[in-house]
Structure 1
C-alpha cells in the first residue's frame, strides 16, 4: 500500500512539473487562450444581463467583445505616441536625472572609475580583444513585440467572443458527462458558483483599477506633470499586480517628475501622491467593494506573481492574480482540492467554515 501511495505522489509531482514545463515552452499558445477565458469570465455578468433583456447571445458577444477591443485600442493609441517620444529621449532623460541627483551620481561615477582602474591593472600586458555583439535596434524590437502583442490580443478577443456566444453549451456538455443525477447537480452548481464569483471579482477589480487610473491621471495633471494620462493608463494596468505594481508605477512617475520639475522636493510629491492613492485603493476601496469572500493570503499572491512573472514575463505577472482567484474558487467547490483552498485562504477557519478567532487559534496551537 505504501509503495502505491509513493508511486501516486511521484506521478502527481511529475504531472505538476510537466504542466509548468509545457506552460513555459508553450507561452505563445497558452497565454492568449488563458486571457480569452479570463475575459469571457469578466464579461459574463453583462452577458447574463443582455440575455434577460432578450438580446441573442451572438449579438451580445459581438457587442461586448467589440467594446472591449475598442477600449484596448483606445488605450494603446492614447499612449503609443508619447511612449515612442519618450523612448527616443531616454538617454537625455538619464543625464537629466543624474544632474538632479548630483551627489548620488558622483558617487556612482567614482565607483565606476575605480572598477575600471582595477580591470586595467588585472589585464595582461598584451591586452584583450573585445568582441561586440550587435543587438537589434529599438525599432525592430518594438515592432516584434507589437506584432506578438497584437496577435495575442486578437486570439484572446476572438476566443472570448466564441465562448460568450456559445451560451450554456459547455455547461450542458459538462452535465451530460456525469452519469448520476447527484453528480450532474453538483457539477452544475460548482460551475455556476465559479462563474458567478470569479466574474464578479474580475469585473469589480477592473472597474476599481480604471477608477484608480483616472484618479492618478487627474492628480498628476493638477500637479502639472506632462503626459499625466500615460501614468493613469500605467496605474490601471500595473494595479493588477498587487503590492509590486504600485511601487513600479510610483518609481516611474518619480523618475519622470525629476526631469520635469525644477526642485527635487516638489518632484517627490508625485510618487507620494501616487502611493497615497494606491494605498487608499488597497486598504479601503477594494476590501469594501470586493469583500472578504475571495481573500487570499499575501504569501500566496506574492509567490504566484513571482512564479508567473518568471514563466511568462510581464504578461504572466499581470494575469497571475486573476488566475490564482480562479484556482481558489475552483478549489472551494471541488472536494478533492479543499486542501489547496485551505492553504490559499487568508483566514484560519474552523471545521464548519467560520473564521476562527485569536483564542481558538491559540488553543489549537497549545493542543498540538
Structure 2
C-alpha cells in the first residue's frame, strides 16, 4: 500500500512539473504561428491585396445585386451595370486630372530645386550674421627647425568639398527616382486593377451561391444561423461605414476645391481630389495633405505668408469635418481608438503598402464586429473603443 501511495505521489509530482513545460511550449508555438502568419501575409501580398479589396467592394455591392434579383434582373446584368457605374466616375475624374497631374510630376524636380535654392539662400544669409569673423593670420616666428627648411616652396591649396548644390542634387535625384518607380510599377498596378474588376464581377455573380452552399453543407460551420447573422451584420455595418466616409470625404474634397478655386489657387480640382482620397486614411491622411498643400503654396506664392493659405484653408475644413461632422454622423459604435488606428495603419502599410493603408480601418472594423458577435475577448473590444 505504501509503495502504491508513493508511486501515485511521484506521478502527481511529475505531472505538476510537466505543466510549466507544456505551457512554455504552447506559448512558443503560438508565437511561431503569429510570426508565420505575418510572414505569409507579407509574402503573399500580391495575391491577398486584390482578394481583400475585391471582397470589400463585392460586400458593398451585393445588396444591390440582391435587390435587382428580386425584380427578376439577372445577376450578370446587374453586376456588370454596377461595375460600370463604379468605374465611370473614377475614369472621368482620372482623365480630367491626368494633364495637371502629369504637369506636376514633370515639374517636381524643378520645384524641388527651386525650394532648396531658396532654403540655401536663407541659410547662407543666417550664417553670414552668425559666423564669427575670420582670425587674422599670425606670422610664424623663426625657429631653429626652420633654418634648414625650404620656406619658399609653393604651398598646394587644400581642396574644399563643394556642398553648395548637394541638397539640390539629392532632391532632383529623389524626384527622378520616384518618377521611375511610378512608371515601372504602372503595368503591375494596371494588371492588379483589371484583376480586381474581374474578381468583383465573379464574386457578385457567383459568390452568394457559393457562400450559401458553404454554410449549408460544410461541417466546419457548426452554428449556421449565427454565421449568417455575422456575415449580414458585417455587411450592413461595413457598408454603412464606407458609404458614410465616402460621402464625407467627397464633400470635403468638393469644399476644398471650391475654396481653392475662389482663392485662385491653381489646379483646385486636383488638390480637392487628392484631399478626398488621402482623407480615407484617418489622421495621417490629413497631415500628408497639409504637407503637400504647403509645398503647393510655396510653389505658387513663394516663401511668403501667402504660402500657408492652401494648407490653412484645408486644415480649417479638416478640423470641422473630423471633430464635428464625422463623430456626429458615425456615432459611438463606429468610433475606434486613434492610437490603435495609427499603429494598425503602420502595420498594414508595412505589410501591403498604400492599399494596406486604405484597407486598414475596414479590416479593423470587421475584426471588431466579429469579436462582438462571437462574444469573446471583451477586453479587446473595450480597448478598441476606448477614448
Change (3 A) 1:22 1:105: farther
Match of 1:28 among 27, 33, 46: 46
Q: Distance in 2 between matches of 1:7 and 1:61?
A: 50
SS of aligned partner of 2:329? helix
Change (3 A) 1:82 1:183: same
Q: Deviations over 1:195-219 (max 9, x none)?
A: 1111221122122212211111111
Q: Distance in 1 between matches of 2:276 and 2:54?
A: 19
CA drift of 1:231 comes to 0.9
Change (3 A) 1:231 1:136: closer
Change (3 A) 1:137 1:294: closer
CA drift of 1:177 comes to 4.6
User: Which stretch shifts more, 142-151 or 167-176?
Assistant: 167-176
Structure-2 residue corresponding to 1:39 = 57
Gapped runs of 5+ residues in structure 2? Answer: 1-18, 129-158, 162-172
Asked if the contact 1:212–1:236 (Cα under 8 Å) also holds between the matched residues in 2, the reply is yes
Asked if the contact 1:33–1:155 (Cα under 8 Å) also holds between the matched residues in 2, the reply is no
CA drift of 1:313 comes to 2.4
Gapped runs of 5+ residues in structure 1? Answer: 111-118, 122-132, 348-368
Q: Indicate yes or no: 2:93 matched with 1:75.
A: yes
Asked if the contact 1:44–1:199 (Cα under 8 Å) also holds between the matched residues in 2, the reply is no
Q: Indicate yes or no: 2:272 matched with 1:232.
A: yes
SS of aligned partner of 1:296? coil
Match of 2:204 among 150, 164, 168: 164
Q: Distance in 1 between matches of 2:51 and 2:273?
A: 24
Q: Indicate yes or no: 2:110 matched with 1:92.
A: yes
**TM-score w.r.t. structure 2 length?**
0.75
User: Which stretch shifts more, 292-301 or 36-45?
Assistant: 36-45
Q: Distance in 2 between matches of 1:245 and 1:181?
A: 39
Change (3 A) 1:265 1:180: closer
RMSD of aligned Cα (Å): 3.1
User: Which stretch shifts more, 337-346 or 327-336?
Assistant: 337-346
User: Which stretch shifts more, 33-42 or 336-345?
Assistant: 336-345
Structure-2 residue corresponding to 1:250 = 290
CA drift of 1:3 comes to 4.2
Structure-2 residue corresponding to 1:304 = 344
Asked if the contact 1:82–1:227 (Cα under 8 Å) also holds between the matched residues in 2, the reply is yes
